[in-house]
Amino acid sequence: MALALKAEGLWKLYESGESVIKAVEDVSLEVEQGAMVAIMGPSGCGKTTLLNVLSGIDEPSSGSVTINGQNLYGSNDDVRTRVRGSNMGFIFQEFNLLPVMTALENVELPLLLQGKTSLEAREEASKALNAVGLGDRLHHRPAELSGGQQQRVAVARAVVHRPAIVLCDEPTGNLDTETSESILGLLRTLCKLGNTTFLIVTHDHSIAEQCDRILQMADGKFRQASEEE
Residue 98: φ, ψ to 5°: -80, 115
Domain ranges of the chain: 3-228
Instruction: Determine the pLDDT at residue 225.
Output: 46
User: In sequence order, what are the residues at sequence separation of 6 or more whose Cβ sits closer than 8 angstroms to the Cβ of residue 121?
Assistant: 108, 111, 112
Q: Which amino acid is at 78?
A: D
pLDDT tier for residue 93 given thresholds of 50, 70 and 90 = confident
Fold of 3-228: Rossmann fold (3.40.50)
pLDDT at 15 over 60: yes
Instruction: Determine the pLDDT at residue 16.
Output: 84
pLDDT tier for residue 81 given thresholds of 50, 70 and 90 = confident
C-alpha 29, offset from chain centre: 15
Q: What confidence tens digit (pLDDT) does each residue in 115-137 have?
A: 999 999 999 999 999 999 999 99
pLDDT tier for residue 224 given thresholds of 50, 70 and 90 = low
Residue 11: φ, ψ to 5°: -130, 140
Alpha-carbon distance 213 to 200, whole Å? 10
pLDDT at 72 over 50: yes
In this structure, the strands spanning 70-71 and 62-67 are: antiparallel
In the chain, the percentage of residues whose pLDDT exceeds 70 is 97
Alpha-carbon distance 204 to 40, whole Å? 8
